[in-house]
A and B are shown apart, each in its own frame.
Chain A
Amino acid sequence: MRLPEFSFHEPLTLDQAFATIKKNNGNARFLAGGTDLVPLMKFGLETPSMIVSLKKIEGLKGIAEDNGYAMIGALTTLREIISSTVISGKLPALSEAAMAVAAPPVWNVATLGGNIRQQTRCVYYNQSRAWRLEKEPCFKAGGNVCHAVPRGKKCFSVYCGDIAPALIALDAAATISGMAGPAEVRLIDLFSNDGLSPFTLEKNTIITGIKIPVPGAASRSGYAKLRVRSAIDYPLVSAAASVALDKDSIITGVKLALSAVGPAPVAIDLNGVLVGVRIDTADFTALKDVLPKKTQIADNLALPGSYRRKMLSVIAKKAIMKAAERAAEKETI
């Protein structure tokens, strides 16, 4: 499949980048690794006339530990995240989530910011022009139907990012640069929960960096992902968890976030469930009660929604167990 024609700009500063975007009246798009945008352009689902590459802008890359926080530039590649011992040692869910993305060649180009800001997906949306001759375009492709949910009145496309749930469970915040100047936004607040337009950010803003509080030794994290194959696949359901234990392996705090459950990742309020019990005697049946009853899971990924709903608690438990075992053993991955 061919890319449509577009012009290409490689600014050296953020100011230049925003100026170019502004000049193009909303018909320009920022490019980071391109692993989400380029396939969408090949399908004719994104049709920018101008691509503004962020690659030559200094200061958007790198991993540093500073004052109790891990600071990661948005243009840092997944490979760099996976290779970082700070991240694998203290923020293992992030490392694990990055490794769960696609396949190793993709890690070399895909970026942290780009992964967070990937478009929502649906088997009925991520299709070519030839497909749209066979079936009416859906809501997200500019039409008026939903093929995934018969008589559905809105878009049920799914946010399939692996990294965002890990960052949410790790309490991360994103630094945003845009027309209105820099700002810091909690990760979860980046998402609108609307399949048509999944982000709360204005189109012409960029994430410049991610800031994660580095947990103490008694708190560790984990990521679990349900997929058909060992590589390539987007999650069918995934979960990230941070678990803090006291010296007797009693759980003192759990943070849990889910992905591939609807148009946005979901932070779960555990409402005290699992807290105060020893990890090896924890009863996970109560987990089912605190997980969302009403998700927007539909039949629009590789496996049916009914199955994915059943797997929520299973995958959540796997993520919590991974985190807890690491917290107990102070293990790194």
Chain B
Amino acid sequence: MNNNDLKYVGKPVPRKDGPLKATGGAQYTVDISLPGMLVGKVLRSPYPHARILNIDTSQAKKLPGVKAVVTSADSLKVKHGFIDTPRYPADQYPIAVDMVRHAGEEIAGVAAIDEDTANEALSLIHVEYERLPAVFDPEEAMKLDAPEIHPNHPKVSDPYKNIGGKIETAFGDIEKAFTGSYLIREDKFYCQIRTHGYMEPQATVASWDHSSKLNVWTSSMGVFLKRARLARTLGLPFGSVRILKTYVGGAFGGKIDLYGHEYIASLLSMKCRLPVKIVYTREEVFKAARHGQPLIVEIKTGVKRDGTILGQQIRTINDSGAYRGSGVVAIFLAWGFAMAPYRIPSMQYEGYSVYTNNLVRAPQRGHGAPKMRFAAESQFDVIAEELGMDPIDFRLKNARNPGDMLPNGDSVKNFGLKECIAKVAEKTDFKAKYEAALKERHSGSTIKRGIGIGTTAYFSGSLVYPNSSTVIVRFNDDASVSVMTGALDIGQGCETVISQIVAEELGVPLNEIHVHAADTETTPVDIGSWISGLTYVTGNAAKKAASHAMKKLLNVAAQELGSEVQELIALDKTIFVGHSPDRKISYGQAIAASIAKNKGDCIIGEGHFRTMKDEVSPPSLSTAKGRWTENYSNYAQVAEVEVDTETGMVRILKATTAHDCGFPVNPVLVEGQIDGQVSMGQGHILSEELRVEDGCVINPSFLEYKMPCALDMVETDYIDVITETYDKEHHYNTKEVGEGYVSGTVASVANAIYNAIGIRVKKTPVHPQDIIDALEKHEHGGKGDLTR
């Protein structure tokens, strides 16, 4: 089918939930109100590492208005973990048992009739601690004499007791690659801890009802994972835990796993048999919730004289914080983001995830990609310069071609990276501006301009619990349509996209498609809004479900009209016989006929989809063996910056993105994703940093945590490099659009800063004082990079 024949998909239709959100009608978790509902609060450890000697809750329990107090003594003491495998068993109690390993760790919970009473009750809980030595730097924690954080955890790298995760993988012959190289570069890059910056804080309402069912509304990224974790830690059958839909005010990776407050709200409600609501303060989000992954990347690359990459050796160190969180996943993914976009014939990779007494880490938009691409793309520019090549030619020489096979068995298929690089360079007049900036470097002006490029390839859905999506499409009597999906719209617009896909399949207008979503009791399982696979996996399940229903409808129509299905045409909720259009039946009539004549079949379609249907299991977190994804998205991004050499302040003037997102089901949502990621990349490279001293967060507010604000937003421009078309007979080949662009912004700005002032950025964020210090060093004849 020609894309021009499409009516709903491929169109920039407005979001279905837009009006509701704009008018305040959307119900977020904080808006949930139930009869008798109590306010829950969490007591947290003020210390980063301590033994709990005693918890005395007696005074708190006596306070009038307090309905329940819980500690680990009320729990089953079941550990949970983002990863839970024999090599990496679950390592975290949802409420501390005998030990705390980071400041902010949950010690107790109270439920009271109002917030003041709950806060007062917290102050009446007396905890006796024995403080223990703590370690906060991952490289320090890797030393033999560092305090041991998890004595009972299986050692993956004896005798280094705090190494909680290790991955090693290699392909080709790295020794030979380096021996044959004309030039070898070794560099080390550092990335900071950033928070996700979701506007809606963590919030949960738990209600243990009269039928002994736990009902939970929680701000999350997918309801089925939350159900699994809650049921397991509470010792309840999955069927006794129901997670219901709420609107979500952003997540960006920070709301995936089980959080202590979700468990504590549930435990409190089970104890006092009243609904309990816990809403974090913003300070709690900063001081106790999970943040993103800081990463150290050591990278050694060998190239031929003509710029061809021969080999790359990489070592990453992740500070996983006090529990494993997603640290072992970040070091696995970082490998993928190194090997996917460019042809690297030989590679050796090792990654370490190290326990420290810092806050636990969650995935964060890009999950390793921004850091790995910042390192690799910066080093590409260094190498290109040393070889006398320009950054565009170097990348075009090494970028993968469509159809290339990756060492893990994935094909990059219709890979548009080279086209992206070429087009973004052309549109931004890259080479001319790059050369002009080099000439301007030594002029008298205090404002220097520069241009830089960064690129990425990203996976589009992988095999992670719950691994697949099912969608049910049901015709109502009036031929309006109800769609049942477990997908949770976290702001990315998945309900709109699913509606577009169903509308296209059925020929029913968008406003007559009603989505019922994200309820573990009444909707089928869904992969979740967190591995960049929702449009691909759930979207194709929706297509299959809709086409299943449509097939039934057409069969009935054929019976009623006395024709063959192939002769029928569906248009505006009416089915015609193609060669004699006066023979027709409305959808409503066909549905009634089906009920009357097909044993009551009211026409329900179901569809399932799983990526990599022939792969049994997800890739290995210790060897990286195994396939990753079916569809690789890719981008090339160019940033133009201005550096004030007097103040060291950097301004991003423009970010231009050439992107290959496969078939864009909704182009305006794609552009929204690009803009959002440019601003996140901007924060990453220029200003955002969680400042932690001895395990205490010292900037726990949006005033002191410098997330870019509205006036700082960067002008953006887009270039579509669309490599997939939609063919109605096949499934949608969509690619990721929600995470990868962050990388391009970070890397391109770092490279643009170099172009402007000749200083190589090796750590993020780039503070103005770093620029001033580096410029002063250079002025005094020194060289030196901008590093930690």
Contacts and interface: CB of A to CB of B under 8 A. Distances in A.
Interface in A299-330: 302-304, 306-307, 310-311, 314-315
A313 to B, nearest CB: 9
B712 interface: yes
A306 B703 contact: no
Contacts of A310: 769, 772
B647 interface: yes
A180 interface: no
Interface size class of chain A, counting residues whose CB lies under 8 Å from the partner chain: 20 to 34
Interface string B752-786: 00000000000000011100100000000000000
Contacts of B768: 228, 303, 307
A307 B772 contact: yes
Contacts of A130: 44, 46, 283, 287
A302 B710 contact: no
A123 B699 contact: yes
B704 A134 contact: no
Interface in A93-139: 103, 123-124, 127-128, 130-131, 133-135
Interface string B91-118: 0000000000001000000000001100
Given A2-B116, A128-B283, A130-B287, A304 B769 contact: yes
Contacts of B1: none
A103 B710 CA distance: 10
B700 to A, nearest CB: 8
B709 A232 contact: yes
Contact of B711 (A131, A133, A231, A304): A231
Contacts, number: 68
B687 interface: yes
A229 B712 contact: yes
A51 B115 CA distance: 22
A2 B703 contact: no
B3 to A, nearest CB: 41
Which one of A1, A134, A232, A310 has the highest number of Cβ atoms from chain B below 10 Å of its Cβ? Answer: A134
B555 interface: no
B46 A134 contact: yes
Contacts of B767: 303, 307
B119 interface: yes
Interface size class of chain B, counting residues whose CB lies under 8 Å from the partner chain: 20 to 34
B769 A306 contact: yes
A129 to B, nearest CB: 9
Contacts of B712: 229-231
B696 A135 contact: yes
Interface in A230-286: 230-233
A134 B772 contact: no
A153 to B, nearest CB: 21
Interface string A194-234: 00000000000000000000000000000000101111110
B239 to A, nearest CB: 38
Given A230-B709, A233-B706, 17 more contacts: A123-B691, A123-B704, A127-B700, A128-B283, A134-B46, A134-B47, A226-B647, A228-B687, A229-B708, A232-B703, A233-B703, A303-B768, A303-B769, A307-B769, A314-B646, A314-B647, A315-B647
Interface of A: 1-2, 103, 123-124, 127-128, 130-131, 133-135, 226, 228-233, 302-304, 306-307, 310-311, 314-315
7 A-B pairs with the lowest CB-CB distances in the bound complex, closest first:
A307-B769, A230-B711, A133-B46, A134-B46, A228-B706, A314-B646, A134-B696
21 contacts: A2-B116, A123-B704, A124-B698, A127-B700, A131-B700, A133-B46, A135-B696, A228-B768, A229-B687, A229-B708, A229-B709, A229-B712, A231-B709, A232-B702, A232-B703, A233-B703, A233-B706, A302-B706, A303-B767, A303-B769, A310-B772
Interface of B: 44, 46-47, 103, 115-116, 119, 281, 283, 287, 646-648, 687, 691, 696, 698-700, 702-704, 706, 708-712, 767-769, 772
